[in-house]
C-alpha cells in the first residue's frame, strides 16, 4: 500500500510528462520539494497545453498550492485510506481551479493527459506486484 501512495504522489508531479521527455531531464519526483514538483509540472503544462503567460502564472500558483497540500497529506499521521481520500479530494479541488484558468480545449487535453498518466501508474503498480 505504501507503494500506492508513493505512486500517487509521483503522479501528481508527472501526470503531464511528455512521453518523449528523457529520464535524464526529469527530476527525481520522490525526493523533490513541493516547489520543485510544482515548477516542473507548471513547465510541462506550459509546453503541452500551450499556456499563455497569464495562464502560466495562474497555473504555477495552483500547482504550488496543491503540491504543498499533497506534501502535508503525505506527511500526516493519517491512515493510508484516509490519505488516499484526502488526496483524491484535493485533486478534485485542483482540477476545478484549473478548469477556471484553462480554455475548454486545454482542459480537455489536460484531462486526457491525466488519464494517460493514471493508466501508466496503475500498470507500473501492477508490474511491481
More confident residue, 128 or 64: 64
pLDDT tens for each residue of 56-80: 999 999 999 999 999 999 888 888 8
Mean pLDDT of the chain: 82
How far lies 108's CA from each of 59, 83, 102, in Å? 15, 27, 9
pLDDT tens for each residue of 32-49: 899 999 999 999 999 999
Distance CA 11, CA 41 (A): 10
Inter-residue long-range contacts of 84-92, CB under 8 Å, 24+ positions, other chains counted: 84/4, 84/5, 84/8, 87/5, 87/8, 87/9, 90/66, 91/12, 91/66
pLDDT tens for each residue of 87-125: 999 999 999 999 999 999 999 999 998 898 888 888 887
State the first-to-last Cα distance of the chain, in angstroms, to the nearest integer.
Answer: 11
pLDDT bucket at 11, cuts 50 / 70 / 90: low
Amino acid at each position: 500500500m505504501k507503494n500506492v501512495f508513493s505512486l500517487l504522489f509521483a503522479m501528481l508531479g508527472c501526470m503531464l510528462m511528455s512521453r518523449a521527455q528523457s529520464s535524464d531531464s526529469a527530476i527525481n519526483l520522490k525526493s523533490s520539494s513541493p516547489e520543485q514538483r510544482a515548477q516542473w509540472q507548471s513547465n510541462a503544462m506550459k509546453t503541452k497545453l500551450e499556456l499563455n503567460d497569464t495562464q502560466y502564472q495562474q497555473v504555477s500558483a495552483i500547482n504550488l498550492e496543491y503540491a504543498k497540500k499533497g506534501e502535508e497529506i503525505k506527511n500526516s499521521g493519517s491512515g493510508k485510506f484516509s490519505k488516499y481520500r484526502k488526496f483524491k479530494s484535493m485533486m478534485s479541488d485542483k482540477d476545478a481551479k484549473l478548469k477556471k484558468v484553462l480554455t475548454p480545449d486545454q482542459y480537455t487535453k489536460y484531462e486526457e493527459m491525466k488519464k494517460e498518466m493514471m493508466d501508466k501508474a496503475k500498470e507500473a503498480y501492477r508490474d511491481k506486484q
